Structure 1
Amino acid sequence: MNITFEERQLMSLYNTGTRTGLIAALEEMRGYLAADETELRELTDSAIAKLRRMSDAEYDALDLFPDFEKEDMDAE
């Protein structure tokens, strides 16, 4: 499954330790988004869709730790 850097970062921030828990956390967060936060809404929807399509074993194989070093390099 092709997960983008942005999706992985979002998943890392809301990771509960289980695939279903992460889906629930992202769905809850999505409910708090303002109408003008379309980019974050689309990113969240994409991440949720990919999580729903993957198995628990595929989820367990993901490395869901925020990559702040990459983010810092992008800011330079």
Structure 2
Amino acid sequence: MSRFTVEESNLMCIYNTGSRADLLFELSEMQSHLSDEETELLVLTKTVIGKLSAMSDEEFDSLSGELIPDFEEQED
């Protein structure tokens, strides 16, 4: 997921609902509640929205597995 920074990936993990469109909606909704003092989060959110808007649903689907942690134990 090299096109996204660690901070961007973390933000996406928090608001990811499974689809690119839903994630864009959730980020836009969250962004509308930010105060003027939350400039760092505002910039981060705008950057993620821009990157997500520039990609296709297929591209998002290919990286969405990385956004959802696998909590199942690995067998040796």
Compute the TM-score of the two structures, normalised by the length of structure 1: 0.82
Mapping 1:4-19, distance limit 5 Å: 4-19=5-20
Indicate yes or no: 2:35 matched with 1:65: no
Instruction: Compare 53-62 and 36-45 and name the one that shifted more.
Output: 53-62
Deviations along 1:41-61, one digit per CA (max 9) or x if unpaired, are 000000000000011111011
- Residue equivalent to 2:57: 56
Q: Would you say how many aligned residue pairs link Structure 1 and Structure 2?
A: 66
Whichever residue aligns with residue 39 of structure 1, its letter is E
Q: Aligned to 2:68, what secondary structure does the other structure show?
A: coil
1:2 is displaced (CA, Å) by 1.2
Identity percentage of aligned residues: 48
Compute the TM-score of the two structures, normalised by the length of structure 2: 0.82
Provide the aligned C-alpha RMSD in A. 1.3
- Structure 1: gaps spanning 5 or more residues: 67-76
Indicate yes or no: 2:8 matched with 1:2: no
- Residue equivalent to 2:47: 46
- Structure 2: gaps spanning 5 or more residues: 70-76
Which 4+ residue blocks in structure 1 deviate beyond 4 angstroms? none
